[in-house]
Structure 1
């Protein structure tokens, strides 16, 4: 029997390597994600931490960890937390530009960003900076960028932002040939092109793909 790409699901949104899993898990917990599983491989000296939105408002909360939407997988190689020379590339610095960022949609972007600023997290771009005043980029402990975006066109009229209502929205990767990449993700993995955004000022185009169901 042939496999049916229309039934595929985007499960592990992104795997990233981290230096200190304790700090990384705490950061993503602050953004409302929960650790839903951990796999240890002592013989190979690494562990995997799986995080996702898991509360009542989560789209796939309570499901088995392999049947979730928007899972972040943190890979920790033993000993890196005590190695002052160990660093990772965040994918945004030449010559290693490839992976770009994770993106999380929030109920009220102003309040969400203020909460992150008040907790003294470092920003690559604050909400009031740059040309695009409707997004921000906070940095995780390893310097990976996490984009903060509005869940909808308008922010919720809330007095206090609620991280349990946040959602893992997308992962950005840079591609060399968009035609070849779109063909791969659509024809091989059955994804659908939802939206194309042309940013002439930034000399780039953005293509958003997903499993619409």
Structure 2
């Protein structure tokens, strides 16, 4: 199965596997969605699908929430967190704070930040052994690198504009400097994070 056009009703199974070397085991780690109401979204994924919240962080202008399905041997959320880079199927929910919710007063910079709020699909995240090596590989194949490790610009997340950079919490900056982003052929942001992220 390649890129052939399927006729209506066609069903095909691929004829070969792409098998990575042992040194380059990459995993689809998470999908990120932008949400409007954290309480409602967390209840939906917990109560309907049985996901467990592993951690959350207030990054300043937005908060992130990670959810996962517990695996055999998991007893508390920190058990999931310890192996999050080795898991697939995590869900990241991102809520951009309303300015009035934060401080009651709205500056023009904050107004522009809150107007950037969008909901829906954000990005896919892949855990990889070497973030820079994978980004170089993507770049040499002709794909755009949206963000290299060390860069803290938010353009790759499509959450807030440049005027909101100063609002990022230092702890989030520390995590965000470890990841990179590529643009896929359809224009989606693809996050590349280390298998063992330093918290």
Pair member with larger Rg = 2
Task: Tell me the TM-score normalized by structure 1.
Answer: 0.38
Task: Tell me the TM-score normalized by structure 2.
Answer: 0.40
Query: Could you say which structure has the higher strand fraction?
Result: 1
